[in-house]
Amino acid sequence: MIGSNLLRAASIATIASLAFGTTAANAQSLVINDEETMITQAPAAAHLENLDEVFSGWLFRTSETQTLQMDDFDNPGMIFVDQAIDQWDVVEGAAGKSCASCHEGGPAEFAGLRTVLPRWDEEAGGIQSMEDYINKCRTERMEADAWKWSASTMTAMTALIGLESRGMPVDVAIDGPASGAWELGKEIYYQRVGQLDMACANCHEDNYDTMIRADHLSQGQTNGFPAYRLKNAKLNSIHGRFKGCMKNIRATPFAEGSDEFRALELYVASRGNGLSVEGTSVRN
Amino acid sequence: MKRTAFLIIGATAAFAAMATAGTIEPDNVEFDDYGAVAASLTGVAGDAASGRKLFANRKLGNCLACHQNDDYLEQSFHGEVGPPLNGVADRWSESELRGIVSNSKVTFEGTIMPSFYRTSGFYRNMEKFEGKPILSAQDVEDVIAYLLTLTE
């Protein structure tokens, strides 16, 4: 209560000038390593009927958590990026290849890729996420085992590849052949589920920027993923986060890597079109 | 063998009858046009002290997740999703509160607030919660008894 009153006082004091005010110390602009400025606030995409502006989840975190993401030496997610750099050269599978065998330009070949994923893939005949492309390389080109959707090797590799798009705005396509999946994702986003009978929209559209117990609700954007969470001290995949939110409302989650979650991933990503890919974010 | 089985069945039946005597099942709760529920769900008076505990219990009421409540100064982090419940008993009658807690959607169309005494109409509910309300009938009565103490 006392905390809550303080929060309220702080937000009222700052409401005119700032969109957010959990504490007066909350930073409003995300500059990483003192040189790269992220777009954390952008006009909402035309398809978003109920929002005027979109915001990165970073804005809603405490100043302590925010600070961890402002310098790669402090960002605990970077340890996993280092692991993926090592993994890049590891030969695995019957074909005797590593990532480096085919991608001679290194992870830099993938600059910009994170901004357009997930996307419609003609060959696969469906929506493909970054995890799908990584596993396709593993199973078809390396003839190695697929990684589990949220395995630490997988989240680390998505972090390494995502980092090459840091600062670039999310720009997923929702029209053409992607439109069917996008509509399905939208339906899931607004569908109330579970014993608590809530939809993603109830928390992340209708009630963002309010406190739900100790959590400051964000818009549930995915531009920061994979996200290092202080709560579980590892990188978390987008589908893993969706699963967690569904379980919290006592709903049976869709499976990680299911068509439903790919569709939801596309829809949620499109809600964040215009926000910077943050590389590896830090969240609570 | 036969006799034991008979005894067990007999005892179970007697216990079930005792536990459900006078309890209105979730699907049978009668709401008036404004969402109020006049009849007690159990016929047993609510216990405000138990209701106070349920109010903050994260696995049960978890009301504090969304509602600020000045009667709960010992706990930090009061939610802001719903209105503060200070003085709520001055605004709503017992029947209205029973309706709001049992199934808030009848009083507030489209609200985010969960229905605490409802078992049907859910989608993708977790199997372990299927057919069970979030709060038992007596829990709801206890929460109402507690809310009725919140006057200003």
Closest chain A residue by Cα to residue B84: A1
Interface confidence: ipTM more than 0.95: no
Return the number of other C-beta atoms located less than 10 Å from residue B141's C-beta. 25
| Spatial CA neighbour of A224 closest among A212, A201, A241, A208 | A241
CB burial string A27-66: b at 16+ within 10 A, e below: beebebeeeeebbbbbebbeebeeeeebbbbbbbbeeebb
Q: Which of residues 198-217 of A touch B (CB under 8 A)?
A: 198, 202-203, 206-207, 210-214, 217
**E strand or H helix at A31:** strand A31-32
| Structure-block tokens of residue B88 | 């709520």
DSSP code, position A165: T
Closest chain B residue by Cα to residue A250: B126
| Spatial CA neighbour of A272 closest among A82, A40, A14 | A40
| Structure-block tokens of residue A8 | 């309220």
Contact criterion met (CB below 8 Å) for A4 and B80:
yes
Q: Distance between CA A130 and CA A155 in Å, rounded?
A: 10
Q: In this predicted model, what pLDDT tens digit does every residue of B46-92 receive, in sequence order?
A: 999 999 999 999 999 999 999 999 999 999 899 999 999 999 999 99
Closest CB from A212, A214, A250 relative to B81: A212
pTM of full prediction above 0.95: no
Distance in Å from the first CA to the final CA of chain A: 21
Return the number of other C-beta atoms located less than 10 Å from residue A16's C-beta. 6
Binary contact (B75, A1; C-beta < 8 A) = yes
Active site residue A245: yes
To the nearest whole Å, the CA of A267 is away from the closest chain B CA by 20
C-alpha pair distances (Å), A37 with each of A33, A96, A218, A276, B147: 9, 40, 20, 9, 49
Q: How would you write the pLDDT of chain A (284 residues) with one tens digit per residue?
A: 233 333 433 333 333 334 454 444 577 899 999 999 999 999 999 999 999 999 999 999 999 999 999 999 999 999 999 999 999 999 999 999 999 999 999 999 999 999 999 999 999 999 999 999 999 999 999 999 999 999 999 999 999 999 999 999 999 999 999 999 999 999 999 999 999 999 999 999 999 999 999 999 999 999 999 999 999 999 999 999 999 999 999 999 999 999 999 999 999 999 999 999 999 999 99
| Structure-block tokens of residue B140 | 């709801």
Test mutation, B58, B102, B115, B126, chain A, max A CBs within 10 A:
B126
Instruction: Indicate which residue of A99, A137, A200, A245 is catalytic.
Output: A245
Interface check A50 vs B, CB under 8 A: no
Binary contact (A213, B65; C-beta < 8 A) = yes
- 3-class state of residue A102 by DSSP: helix
